[in-house]
Amino acid sequence: MSIQKQERTTSWTGLGVGTDRKSFLDAISSQIPDYEADRAAEAVFCTLSERLSASWVAHLREQLPPDIRDAFRVCHRHRGEAPVKLDRDDFYLRVANHLNAEPENVRLVLHGVFSALHAQLPDAEAKKLEQQLPAWLQGTWAAARLHVDRPY
């Protein structure tokens, strides 16, 4: 009788995904292959950092593995500015402009980045972050957490 050895991983989820920058970006690429993963992450993180308070951005960065933290920094174009109450259209437009993408594709980009981000966060932190998001963004965040099919 053979005994299989179960390997331990250092990922938050225990699934072995998202433990470093490369696997994080690979997770994004698998969701949104038509976009450069690092640019998609930067666009989403930059826009989130505009929407969230500086203390929440710092708190969220601390939840991430060290080599991903740099990806979630306040965008160089927006440093020093107070968070803005962006409505849905403005939020989507800012992500689209950051990526030079069509605004109708932004929800797909958000889903891909959020899905990879969920693999980095403990469930309790993901739920806390959801409460910081506007209602119109909470659904996309929750769908990515629940691995609902990505939007098309």
Please write the tens of the pLDDT for every residue from 21-31: 888 889 899 98
- State the CATH number of the domain containing residue 87: 1.10.490.110
**Domain interval for residue 59:** 21-75+82-145
- Element at 115 (helix H, strand E): helix 106-118
- 16 assigned to some structural domain: no
On the question of pLDDT at 6 being above 80, the answer is no
Q: Is residue 71 part of a domain?
A: yes
pTM: 0.79
Q: Is residue 29 part of a domain?
A: yes
pLDDT tens column, 91-150: 999 999 999 998 889 999 999 999 988 888 888 888 888 999 999 999 889 888 776 555
**Domain for residue 86, yes or no?**
yes
pLDDT for 38 beyond 60: yes
What's the one-letter identity of residue 1? M
Q: What share of the chain is helix, strand, coil (3-state, %, to 5)?
A: 60, 0, 40
Q: Is residue 151 part of a domain?
A: no
pLDDT in tens, 58-72: 887 877 777 777 766
Q: Contact at 8 Å (CB) between 116 and 24? A: yes
Whether residue 118 contacts residue 145, with contact meaning beta carbons closer than 8 Å, is answered with yes
Q: For the segment 9-20, what is each residue's pLDDT rounded down to a tens digit?
A: 344 443 434 468
Select from 35, 27, 26 the least CA-distant residue to 107. Answer: 35
13 domain-assigned: no
Q: Is residue 64 included in any domain, yes or no? A: yes
Residue 9: CB atoms within 10 A of its CB come to: 12
Residue 85 pLDDT: 79
Q: How many CB atoms lie within 10 A of CB 4?
A: 5
pLDDT at 151 over 60: no
Residue 5 in this model has a pLDDT that exceeds 50? no
CB atoms within 10 A of CB 145: 19
Asked if residue 4 is part of any domain, the answer here is no
Task: Count CA atoms within 13 Å of residue 107 on its CB side.
Answer: 14
Domains identified in the chain, total number: 1
